[in-house]
Amino acid sequence: MRLEKHPILKFKRKKEITFFYEGQAIIAYEDEPIAAALHAAGITTLSESPRFHRPRGFFCAIGKCASCVMEVDGVSNIRTCIVPAKYGMKVKKQTEAKIFPEEFSGSQIFKQTPVIKTDFAIVGGGPAGLSAAIYASRFGIKPLIIEENFLIGGQLIKQTHKFFGSKSHYASTRGIDIAKILINDVQERGINIWTSSSVVGFYPGNILGVVKEGRYYKVEAKTILISTGASEKSILFPGNDLPGVYGAGAIQTLMNVYGITPGKKVLILGAGNIGVIVAYQLLQAGIEVVAIAEALPRVGAYIVHSAKLKRLGVPIFTSHTISYVFGKDKVEQAEIAEINHKWQKIQGTEKRLNVDTVGLAVGLSPSVEILSQAGAKMTYIPELGGYISLHNMNMETSIPGVFIAGDISGIEEASSAMLEGRIAGLNAAKKIIGENKELEREIIKNQKELVELREGPFGEKIRIGNKKLYKEAKDNGIH
């Protein structure tokens, strides 16, 4: 169902168009992804698992999990959550594994690959990538931003709540408005942006392989920033792959970016900030939140967020987890149960909930695939979200001239992503223009602000993680 009224958002839909799903006419709007339009039309199964042909809906809604891949105009493996519907398109459910789009499999296409040269290639147009582009361009650098979504702004474009922090980190401004500020700045500076362009390879000599509008390009860059963000984690329980089980961020994307309701009755798993914020935003959109289940014995979200839910009467079951999701082709019911201190289910405490949607807010994993492929030195630091690439305080990795910033360097928040982006952008500029006093002052200023941001009890986990990281980086000669 499409939302018409919302207390914060106005959904200005563009021109109505029709496309075809398995021969059936589907109404969409220009700039609405195929998967979102299908969802609005009540079609939630988009593909099937290749071996057992179990139904698959979308899970991440940002191009990171592949559960929404479909055949579009004869081309398979299209991630329909990030590809807008077009008039007359023919879309089919994908029921078997396809390794590589056929049009890229002939060697001829690689021989004809155009090579684009740039001083600074930025992979990912979220808050980290956009900030890096802005700060590098302040020193005369002309970056190229490569973004796989057709929209830029990363996760900020779905965040309707106001941010914390200080004025220089846009405190009291909604995430959607911070995205607009950054995007306007980038556009006013005339920075080159490739949207709907995925970086799929990294070759020696700092060369990126990019798929853009059905063509393969090589981008040769003097410096590179990888700011690809993070992907949502799933957890094990029977039925966790059914359509209707989403990452909490996917619910936000569907609801806040495209104005489409994920369902009518929702169970959220995880009472950290993301789970609690998404639950509140569901209520704002007029959707019932049946319960939140949290495995820890306490609510992890800031009190300001969780208090709103308590006032609105949403039950939060602590020391509980999800034990089952029931349904044939989509979620019909979910079961939660109490767990003991060993995280084992306590028999007899099961509760069946009538829900059609389950939102998993159980953490994020840094999207490190490109760096790992590039051979950057990696490490595992649980406090930072898992595998990350070793880097120094200038955000440079073990590959000279290759920087990281934002969630890829450790799961944190948009404010730190912007600061890290600035530091990476400034250091990339330094590699190109050489020593410069003003540039050096800016690097130190932003590094100081980042340290200040992480002070206090909420920054403790990151401080512990970073201590481990910098020690290991130093031991590996990265400093």
**Alpha carbons 36 and 338: distance in angstroms, whole number:** 34
Among 227, 306, 357, 466, binds ligand FAD (CB under 6 A): 227
Min dist. Cβ of residue 30 to ligand FES (A): 20
Residues 258-317 that bind ligand FAD (CB under 6 A): 274, 277-278
Binding track over 157-196 against ligand FAD, x by CB under 6 A: --x-x-x---------------------------------
Query: Closer to ligand FAD at the Cβ: 282 or 325?
Result: 282
Partner interacting with residue 65 (select from ligand FAD, ligand FES, none; CB below 5-8 Å by kind): ligand FES
Strand extents, DSSP E, 238-309: 245-247, 265-269, 288-294
Among 28, 72, 186, 199, binds ligand FAD (CB under 6 A): 199
Selected range binding ligand FAD among 96-104, 107-115, 224-232, 459-467, rule: CB under 6 A: 224-232
**Alpha carbons 32 and 259: distance in angstroms, whole number:** 10
Partner interacting with residue 407 (select from ligand FAD, ligand FES, none; CB below 5-8 Å by kind): ligand FAD
Binding track over 11-40 against ligand FAD, x by CB under 6 A: ------------------------------
Helix axes 437-453, 414-433, angle to 10 degrees: 160
Partner interacting with residue 79 (select from ligand FES, ligand FAD, none; CB below 5-8 Å by kind): ligand FES
Query: Closer to ligand FAD at the Cβ: 163 or 217?
Result: 163
Partner interacting with residue 58 (select from ligand FAD, ligand FES, none; CB below 5-8 Å by kind): ligand FES
| Tokens found for residue 395 | 């955000």
Min dist. Cβ of residue 247 to ligand FES (A): 8
Binding region for ligand FES (CB under 6 A)? 58-61, 63-68, 79, 81
Min dist. Cβ of residue 261 to ligand FES (A): 17
477 phi/psi in degrees, rounded to 5 = 75, 15
Placement of tokens 């073990």 in the chain: 398
Helix axes 273-284, 303-311, angle to 10 degrees: 40
Partner interacting with residue 453 (select from ligand FAD, ligand FES, none; CB below 5-8 Å by kind): none
Partner interacting with residue 60 (select from ligand FES, ligand FAD, none; CB below 5-8 Å by kind): ligand FES
**Alpha carbons 112 and 328: distance in angstroms, whole number:** 47
Asked whether position 239 contacts ligand FAD by CB under 6 A, the answer is no
Query: Closer to ligand FES at the Cβ: 78 or 291?
Result: 78
| Tokens found for residue 440 | 């050096």
- The rounded Cα 417 to chain-centroid distance in angstroms is 13
Min dist. Cβ of residue 176 to ligand FAD (A): 11
Min dist. Cβ of residue 245 to ligand FES (A): 12
- Provide the 8-state DSSP code for 270: -
Min dist. Cβ of residue 240 to ligand FES (A): 14
Binding track over 396-415 against ligand FAD, x by CB under 6 A: ----------xxx---xxxx
Cβ burial of 278 (10 Å; 0-12, 13-18, 19+) is: buried
Name residue 162's beta-bridge partners. Answer: 174
Cβ burial of 455 (10 Å; 0-12, 13-18, 19+) is: exposed
Closest CA to 91 of 24, 30, 15, 17: 24
Instruction: Determine the 3-state secondary structure of 188 from DSSP.
Output: helix
Rounded to a whole number of angstroms, the distance between the first and last alpha carbons of the chain is 52
Cβ–Cβ < 8 Å for 295, 278: no
Asked whether position 254 contacts ligand FAD by CB under 6 A, the answer is no
Binding track over 416-455 against ligand FAD, x by CB under 6 A: -x--------------------------------------
Residues 119-148 that bind ligand FAD (CB under 6 A): 123-129, 146-148
- The rounded Cα 93 to chain-centroid distance in angstroms is 24
Asked whether position 149 contacts ligand FAD by CB under 6 A, the answer is yes
Concatenating the DSSP letter of every residue in 130-166 gives HHHHHHHHTTT--EEEE-SSSS-SGGGGG--SBP-S-
Cβ–Cβ < 8 Å for 329, 45: yes
Beta-carbon contacts of 376 under 8 Å, excluding residues fewer than 6 positions away, are 389, 390, 397, 398, 399, 402
Residue 282: its H or E element: helix 273-284
Asked whether position 154 contacts ligand FAD by CB under 6 A, the answer is yes
User: Which chain residues interact with ligand FAD by CB under 6 A?
Assistant: 62-63, 123-129, 146-149, 154-156, 159, 161, 163, 198-199, 227-229, 248-249, 252, 274, 277-278, 367, 406-408, 412-415, 417
